[in-house]
């Protein structure tokens, strides 16, 4: 990258010189990311966060708890095995499961054994952290006591159950669905733009979509399950329980060939840089874990350093997580959370992007 031409203006102060040096180093790493990239991170505009889920998913059903049950026990894909594929950080490996099985494990294991006519659930690795229906109610009651003490609205048991569903392999279906729906081209063609095409392949692999034949040899995309009630419930839990989280820096590592879209580099018409993550966003309190995930021997690393505050805080999953791994220190932000870039810095071959977090409203 060529250096800027020398000017005859006044000499730079030390802070100005350091700022320019940091900007040049960040540009060099962005160029490396672009050169080595295998995919571009897809995000909506920063201001999309204020719109919430309805523009992406439509309106929720009146009875969300009933919707949660129907989407996992009565849908077309309810009893179909799926796996989440190979990717860095996959703790489940090649394991397979079904929406029906994960529903009963998350909501009421005892009733699930009776409904499925089995003596025990198939073993899982890592082992599932199951709660009886009474234990789940007790966890919800503790959270609601803390919320009430801060004059905040309670979280529903259905929302807590949906949050548990997210911590299972079902997260792959929910996040893939949201990312597909956020791409306009995803519903219009069999081979749309590259990003949408990759997402649709994943959606097909996990059983979310089918291609129906139409006259003239055309194929029409059909969603086999859109998990509308479930996603609204997870967002409810993430927004409400996030209000119990203490403000602190949290981290999200992205590596292995990712590059940033232009909206992360060039300010929009309001002078903001960043984007809105249309799917749910997991982060960690463990910076070292994020660094490990973001780096490898062949690519430049990218890490988001998020500053939580009044505008948005992630929900602590430890009490509800079905695959609780304490070292991960995981927090979950709701779908349609926006990240606004405040500064960048370079640490070795790592580009660190500091962002403010803007969470969506409760819908």
pLDDT digit string, tens, across residues 204-243: 999 999 988 888 878 888 999 999 999 999 999 999 999 9
The pLDDT, as a whole number, for residue 275 is 85
The pLDDT, as a whole number, for residue 200 is 84
The pLDDT of residue 38 is above 80: no
| CA atoms 325, 331, 334, 339: torsion sign | negative
pLDDT grade for 319, boundaries at 50, 70 and 90: very high
The pLDDT, as a whole number, for residue 225 is 96
The pLDDT, as a whole number, for residue 219 is 81
Return the residue matching tokens 């994960």.
Answer: 102
Digit-coded pLDDT (tens) for 145-198: 999 999 999 999 999 999 999 999 999 999 999 988 876 533 433 333 456 677
Rounded to two decimals, what is the model's pTM?
0.83
Q: How far is CA 299 from CA 85, 262, 273, 288, 345, in A?
A: 22, 20, 24, 17, 17
The pLDDT of residue 357 is above 60: yes
Residues of the chain with CATH 3.90.176.10: 37-51+245-358
Strand ranges (E), the chain: 39-40, 209-214, 218-223, 249-254, 258-259, 274-277, 281-284, 301-307, 315-316, 330-333, 337-347, 350-358
The pLDDT, as a whole number, for residue 64 is 97
Nearest to 201 by CA among 221, 217, 218: 221
The pLDDT, as a whole number, for residue 190 is 37
Mean pLDDT estimate for the chain: 81
Domain 37-51+245-358 in this protein, CATH class: alpha beta
């Amino acid at each position: 990258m060529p250096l800027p031409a020398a000017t005859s203006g006044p000499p730079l102060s030390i802070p100005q010189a350091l700022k320019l040096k940091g900007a040049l180093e960040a540009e060099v790493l962005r160029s490396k990311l672009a050169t080595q990239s295998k995919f571009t991170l897809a995000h909506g505009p920063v201001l999309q966060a204020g719109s919430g889920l309805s523009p992406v998913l439509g309106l929720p059903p009146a009875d969300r708890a009933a919707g949660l049950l129907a989407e996992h026990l009565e849908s077309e894909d309810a009893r179909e095995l799926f796996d989440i594929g190979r990717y860095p950080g996959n703790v489940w490996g090649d394991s397979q499961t079904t929406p029906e099985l994960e529903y009963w494990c998350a909501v009421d294991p005892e009733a699930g054994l009776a409904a499925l006519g089995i003596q025990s659930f198939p073993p899982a690795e890592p082992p599932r952290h199951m709660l009886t229906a009474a234990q789940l109610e007790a966890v919800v009651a503790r959270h609601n006591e803390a919320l009430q003490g801060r004059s905040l609205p309670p979280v529903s048991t259905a929302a807590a159950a949906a949050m548990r569903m997210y911590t299972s392999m079902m997260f792959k279906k929910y996040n893939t669905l949201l990312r597909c729906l956020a791409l306009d081209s995803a519903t219009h063609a069999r081979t749309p733009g590259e990003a949408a095409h990759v997402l649709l392949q994943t959606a097909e692999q996990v059983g979310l979509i089918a291609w129906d034949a139409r006259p003239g040899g055309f194929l029409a995309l059909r969603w086999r399950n859109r998990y509308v009630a479930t996603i609204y419930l997870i967002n409810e839990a993430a927004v409400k329980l996030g209000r119990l989280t203490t403000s602190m820096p949290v981290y999200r590592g992205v590596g292995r060939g990712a590059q940033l879209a232009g909206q992360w580099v060039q300010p929009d018409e309001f002078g903001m840089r960043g984007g809105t993550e249309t799917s749910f966003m997991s982060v960690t309190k463990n910076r070292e874990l994020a660094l490990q995930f973001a780096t490898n021997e062949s690519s430049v690393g990218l890490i988001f350093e998020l500053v939580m505050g009044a505008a948005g805080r992630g929900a602590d999953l430890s009490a509800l997580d079905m695959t609780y791994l304490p070292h991960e220190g995981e927090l979950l932000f709701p779908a349609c959370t926006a990240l606004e870039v405040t500064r960048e810095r370079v640490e070795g071959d790592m580009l660190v992007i500091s962002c403010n977090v803007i969470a969506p409203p409760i819908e």
